[in-house]
Amino acid sequence: MARSFVSLTLLVTCLLSVLTSVLALNAVRANPDSPPITLPTAQNAWTLGTVETVKWLTDGYNVNGTGSIILGISLPNGSVDFWQDQPLAEGFPLSDGIVNVRCPLNLPTTRRYVIALLPDESNQSPPFMVLNGTQVEPTSIETPPATLLTTGNVPPATITRSSVVGTIPPPSSSGSAETSNAGSSFTQVSSTSTGPQPTQTGSQTNGALNTINGETIIAAAAAAAILVIAPAWIG
């Protein structure tokens, strides 16, 4: 009787573990209604201090209202630290599908970066590089800054563009943020990628949804298999 109880407990634990893993994978993916970012891609690189363009799909996605662009730094463990209270652009119509931003001047060029298109923070670009102009050697900056520095105006990408941030203001003291290992004030969130990936498109987004459904089917199949073999184990 004791052996049967232990076996049943192990089976239930395995089942819960499988289901929890599937739910966790689904949770880190962007909302399927969010417009996928098409620029920058993993093959692109920004240059310190220059004007860069961000693009996203609009057809078939929820582009009502306005959005913001925030920058994050990709960490070795696959997560991303965002400068949440220092947007690179804000107040632009999501229906534009494009906005210009200025790359901050004080970023370590040895790291990879991610942008998120708000209001859905999980709607992120693939990690991309930042270069130090025409210089081959990386910048001497190694620690991510707490405050991003930019100078100069940013030209609008569209006629209806309403507001980009030419000079990023200091972060508000009332904003809540976690402190990273490097001492910078970011908020850490789960990343959708552990490394460079191709840019999402509409068809790829549908593929991601199919992947989610496939994971759920796998979890259900695993649960069914466990329930089938449970009597044999208990016996």
CA distance to 47, 89, 107, 184, 223, per residue, from 84 (Å):
21, 12, 16, 12, 40
DSSP notation for the chain:
-HHHHHHHHHHHHHHHHHHHHHHHHHHTSPPTTSPPEEES-TT-EEETTSEEEEEE--TTS---SEEEEEEEEE-TTS-EEE-TTS-SEEEEEGGG-EEEEE--SS--TTSEEEEEEET-TT-BPPPEEEE-TT-SSPPS--SPPSS----S----SSTT---B-SSPPPPPTT---EE-TTS-EEEEE--S-SS--PPP-HHHHHHHHHHHHHHHHHHHHHHHHHHHHHHHHH-
Cβ atoms of 142 and 89 within 8 Å: the answer is no
Q: Is the pLDDT of residue 144 over 50?
A: yes
pTM equals 0.57
Tell me which of 5 and 194 has the higher pLDDT: 5
Residue 172 has a pLDDT of: 59
DSSP notation for 145-180:
PSS----S----SSTT---B-SSPPPPPTT---EE-
Residue 207 has a pLDDT of: 36
Q: Up-side HSE of residue 103: CA atoms within 13 Å toward CB? A: 23
| Other residues' Cβ atoms within 10 Å of the Cβ of residue 51 | 18
Residue 104 has a pLDDT of: 96
**For the ranges 15-29, 138-152, 196-210, the one whose mean pLDDT is highest:** 138-152
* Mean of the per-residue pLDDT values of the chain: 71
Residue 137 has a pLDDT of: 64
- 159-218: pLDDT as tens digits: 544 445 555 655 655 444 333 343 344 444 443 343 333 333 333 333 333 434 444 445
As a whole number of angstroms, the distance between CA 34 and CA 141 comes to 34
Cβ atoms of 38 and 200 within 8 Å: the answer is yes
Domain ranges of the chain: 2-26+210-234, 37-199
Tell me which of 94 and 158 has the higher pLDDT: 94
Stretch among 29-43, 52-66, 168-182 having the lowest mean pLDDT:
168-182
